[in-house]
Every structure is written in C-alpha cells, then in structure tokens.
Amino acid sequence: MRIAMVSEHASPLACITGEDAGGQNVHVAELATALARRGHEVVVYTRRADTTTPDRVPFTEGVRVDHLRAGPAAPVAKDHLPPHMPAFGRGLRRAWSWWRPDVVHAHFWMSGMAAIPAAEALDIPVLQTFHALGSVKRRFQGAADTSPPERCEVERTVARKSTMVVATSREERSELLTWGVHPERVAVVPCGVDTERFSPFGPVATRAMGPRVLSLGRMVPRKGVDTVIRAMEKVPGAELIVAGGPRPEDMEDDPEVCRLRTLAARLDLAERVRFLGSVDRAEVPTLIRSADVAVNTPWYEPFGLSTLESMACGVPVIASRVGGHKDTVVPGETGLLVPPRAPGSLAESLRHLLADPAERAAFAESSRRRVDELYSWAEVARATEECYLALARPEPPRPRISSERAVERTLGTAFAGGDN
C-alpha cells in the first residue's frame, strides 16, 4: 500500500539530528518505519524550513521525506504557519498527481487543513490524527493558550471532512463525538513506544542514597510539576529529579524553571529537588531506570508519552487521572492514578508506593507486559494498518476536481491570500 503521511511542522528527520524532536516528530518517524516493515511504501510530507534541505531525503528502507515549499525556507513558529497551509496543500496535490497514495494520514490540525482539499480533489481517503485538540487546550489553558484563534473551528471542519479520525485515547474520542463526528468514523489507536530502547534492561544513571522520584516532560505550567514539588514536602527522605525543559545552560532565564525553583526553596526543598533541564533522548531510558517511581501529573494530557516510556522501562508510575493516562495506567495493577492538582493525594500515593518494594515490583512487571501487548510500535502499526485497509478501495476512484476549491474555502478562508 502507498501511504502518504502529512506532518507540516514536525519532520521525522529531527529524530536523526536531535534538533527539535518533539512527540509528533517521534510518532511520525516510528509509525512510518513500523509500517514500512509491514511492507508498505511511505512518504512523509513536511514543510521546507531550510534552504539547504533537499527536496527528497531517504529516511529508512521504505520511507522517504519530501519537503514542500510553503512560506519562507526558514523556521516559522508553529502558531504562525496557518497562512501557509493553502500553498502547502497545493504542493500536496501536485505531488499526489504523479505519485498517487492509496491513503493519506494527516498529523495535527494544520496538516489536515492542507491535506483534505488536495485529497478530495483526487478522491483519496484521509485519516486524521490531531495529537491534541484545540478545544481541550483552550478549556484548560484559557488566556494562556497561544493557538491561532481559528484553530477550533478549522479542527471541527477537518474532523467532519476526514474519512476517519484516529484518536489516541478514549477521552479524545468522546470529545470528537460531541462535535457531531459519527462514532463509526472515530477509531482509537494509541501512541507507541520503542520497546527495545525503553526497557528494564540497560545502563542505570547514578543516584544519591534514598528513594528517587522522577518527573519527566515539558516544562510548562499545565504539566503540573508544581503539584509534584508540593507533594514532596510530605514525602520525607526522597529526592525529586525534574527532567525536561530548556537546555541546562538556559535554565537560569526560563520563567517556569525559576517559578518552580522558587516554590521548592519556599518549601525548604531546594536540597531534595534537582532540575536537569533537557536530557538527550538517548539518555532518557538510563535516567528512567534510576527512579523508584515516575510521576506525571498534568492538568490535562492528550496521551502522556513519558508515562508510557516509564512503564516500558519497568518503573512504577503515578499519573493524574486525565486523558490518555486513563487508558495506559490500570490503577492497582500497573500504577496509581490521582486527581490533578492534588498534592495531598499524590503525597499519600508516593509514601505508600515507596514503602512497598513488593508492590513496586509487581507494578513494574505488569506495566512492561501491558506495553508489550498494546503499545509497541509493531502493534500500533498493525492497528493503524487496519484503519487504512478499512478505507482502501479495490478500484481507482475518479477524481473530483470541482470540489477542491469548495473544500479549500471551507477549511482556509482566512488564509486564501497566503503565498503561492
């Protein structure tokens, strides 16, 4: 099967260079690779953000990355990309006119915005994975949400016009159903984890004496790291390692790091809370294995990849009862779930788990088994392939050229004046 993946701002090549490789970059890279191993031909389309980048770059066997011109050949902040999506979409249509995919898989709302007009014009089915929903982000972040104001409206249009939406959690599926998307058009396929890299076996980072609690993730308020710090006040003798955020040399100027350090000092925890800053991805499993418990307590979380990575490494987890955590963590079997923004409940769970090595070992074993069964990239690729096959048509469909402008107007009226 020919599979076109559209990832307008998150290139899988970032996973090779190590530059700006976020969750979507990793997801697209790993899923494309796993699908190629199943015998499919995959092309990932992303925006050219560098004048020196070739138009076409081999990624791995069966996968290549094509760079399309849309906007300046320079880095553009994600929130400033929507005006360039019509041009990106026209580039997709030109590409698919000579290399016709059997199915298009768009990642993130802007990818869907660009892909749907091109795919509709050629009568190609589109699967959409949002990775995060603007409506949920706005609900929890309010004025702090930096997304373009038109995001929510465009997202709803993308969801309704996609042939199928692939949600990464049951909670996301429930949100999509409130938009009027038909239940039969929303499948749930989770994110995956590299079970060879993230495993209980391998080097372990050095650590001080006493229990170690790990908080791993982006350094933004919604991740709830302040909840973990407040909980540590009632977990005597344990150290907290906070990993993620800016580079170590830039931490002094980071507002969120400064806020959290001030909180730790005010609670007399400065000696027990250590901030590492960003950690090289290759070193993340080594750090996870050094922890007795991994904690992830965001206010909201589309999926919660760091929780899954800790489970894959055989480290028991405590996570907030939100988003994808409600799917990945089985309370009392693979870890514990606590309410968000509840340091008292978190402290109680930490004290209980740190005091019971046998329960931690049982959680660790069950966690790894659950990851192997449900969240390996091989399993995620198999489940995604099922979605593709459900939409693939036995005969070549007839192009519907006349619908292209109508769809483009629906999705991107505000950006019709974008670059060519």
161-182 per-position pLDDT tens digit = 999 999 999 999 999 999 999 9
- For residues 36 and 120, the answer to whether their CB atoms sit within 8 Å is no
Does 316 score more than 70 pLDDT?
A: yes
pLDDT of residue 15: 58
The tokens for 204 are: 């372990």
pLDDT of residue 135: 87
pLDDT of residue 409: 54
pLDDT of residue 301: 86
Measure the CA–CA gap between 291 and 205, rounded to whole angstroms: 9
CATH class of domain segment(s) 2-192+377-415: alpha beta
Measure the CA–CA gap between 163 and 128, rounded to whole angstroms: 8
Report, as an integer, the average pLDDT of 34-50.
97
Report the 10 Å Cβ neighbour count for 78.
17
Helix (H, G, I), strand (E, B) or coil at 329: coil
Report, as an integer, the average pLDDT of 353-381.
96
Minimal CA–CA distance to 145: which of 157, 133, 163? 133
Does 269 score more than 90 pLDDT?
A: yes
3-state helix, strand, coil in the chain (%, to 5): 45, 15, 35
Q: What is the DSSP letter of 240?
A: E
Does 414 score more than 60 pLDDT?
A: no
Question: Pairing between strand 41-47 and 2-6?
Answer: parallel
The fourth-level CATH superfamily of domain 212-374 is Glycogen Phosphorylase B; (3.40.50.2000)
CA dihedral angle for residue 369, residue 373, residue 376, residue 380, rounded to 10 degrees: -160
Residue-level length of the chain: 420
Q: Which residues contact 272 (CB under 8 A, 6 or more apart)?
A: 232, 238, 239, 240
**CA count, 13 A, side-chain hemisphere, 187:** 20
Report, as an integer, the average pLDDT of 10-23.
65
Helix (H, G, I), strand (E, B) or coil at 406: helix
For residues 293 and 77, the model is more confident at: 293
The tokens for 298 are: 């965001």
Confidence tier at 96 by pLDDT (50, 70, 90): very high
Q: Which residues contact 380 (CB under 8 A, 6 or more apart)?
A: 31, 34, 189, 190, 191, 192
Whether 2-192+377-415 and 212-374 share one fold: the answer is yes
Q: Where are the domains of the chain?
A: 2-192+377-415, 212-374
Reported as a single tens digit per residue, the pLDDT across 319-362 is 999 989 999 999 999 999 999 999 999 999 999 999 999 999 99
